[in-house]
């Protein structure tokens, strides 16, 4: 049905907003079906870069699945980096990095941290608070690798400070140990 509507759009003029809505819904449908290749082809078929940017941003703002969010954040960063404001760019890069960290977690646990996908540092802190040390190790390794490539509002030092803070708390005993004497 989406493709039929797209063909009609080539034959008859469709208002810009309706065209954006049509393509956004089609894109979200393809992404939810897991067909990233067709989603990419759809975006490449759109001739007007302004419409393509609007579709991509609106789709991302719909908070689709993890894989779809990751795809859209990657696409926006790769194709429209200079068209985005600094704040929006940082937001999209944080979502990209957060989704990348989420993908390192066991599949059944991702849903528990999905709401933090746009805040990777907070996700790391939540993992530390939940004592998921093995997951934290993989997440930190992923973050170190990704932060070397791009800048998003926090640094490797922020991660190190967070880890130090929780390491200190882990060693802080709220009571004094007493020896038993016989």
pLDDT of residue 142: 86
- Whether the pLDDT of residue 158 is over 90: the answer is no
Rounded (10°) angle between helices 86-104 and 49-61 = 50
What pLDDT, in 10s, does the model give residues 48-96?
Answer: 899 999 999 999 998 888 889 999 999 998 999 889 888 888 888 888 8
Three-state secondary structure call for residue 161 = helix
Query: What predicted TM-score, i.e. pTM, was given to this entire model?
Result: 0.75
Structure tokens, 19: 């065209």
- Whether the pLDDT of residue 102 is over 70: the answer is yes
The C-alpha atoms of residue 97 and residue 89 are separated, in whole angstroms, by 12
168 pLDDT band, cuts 50/70/90, is: confident
Q: Rounded to the nearest 5°, which phi and psi values hold at 92? A: -70, -40
Task: Tell how many helices (H) and how many strands (E) occur in the chain.
Answer: 10, 0
**Mean pLDDT (whole number) for 105-121:** 88
pLDDT of residue 167: 80
Do the Cβ atoms of 31 and 11 come closer than 8 Å? no
pLDDT of residue 64: 84
Structure tokens, 102: 């989420």
pLDDT of residue 177: 58
Signed CA dihedral, 154, 159, 160, 165: sign only: positive
pLDDT of residue 110: 87
**Mean pLDDT (whole number) for 23-45:** 91
pLDDT of residue 175: 64
- Whether the pLDDT of residue 37 is over 90: the answer is yes
pLDDT of residue 63: 84
- Whether the pLDDT of residue 169 is over 90: the answer is no
- Whether the pLDDT of residue 182 is over 60: the answer is no
């Amino acid at each position: 049905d989406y493709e039929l509507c797209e063909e009609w759009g080539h034959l008859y003029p469709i208002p810009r907003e309706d065209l954006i809505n049509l393509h956004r819904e089609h894109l979200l449908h393809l992404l939810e079906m897991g067909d990233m290749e067709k989603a990419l082809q759809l975006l490449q078929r759109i001739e007007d870069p302004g419409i393509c940017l609007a579709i991509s941003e609106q789709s991302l703002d719909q908070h689709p699945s993890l894989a779809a969010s990751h795809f859209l954040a990657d696409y926006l960063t790769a194709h429209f980096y200079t068209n985005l404001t600094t704040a929006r760019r940082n937001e999209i890069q944080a979502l990209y990095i957060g989704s990348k960290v989420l993908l390192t977690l066991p599949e059944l646990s991702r849903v528990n941290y999905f709401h933090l996908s746009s805040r990777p540092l907070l996700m790391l802190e939540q993992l530390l608070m939940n004592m998921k040390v093995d997951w934290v190790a993989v997440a930190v390794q992923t973050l170190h690798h990704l932060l070397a490539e791009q800048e998003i509002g926090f640094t490797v030092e922020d991660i190190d400070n967070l880890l130090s803070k929780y390491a200190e708390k882990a060693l802080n005993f709220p009571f004094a140990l007493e020896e038993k004497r016989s």
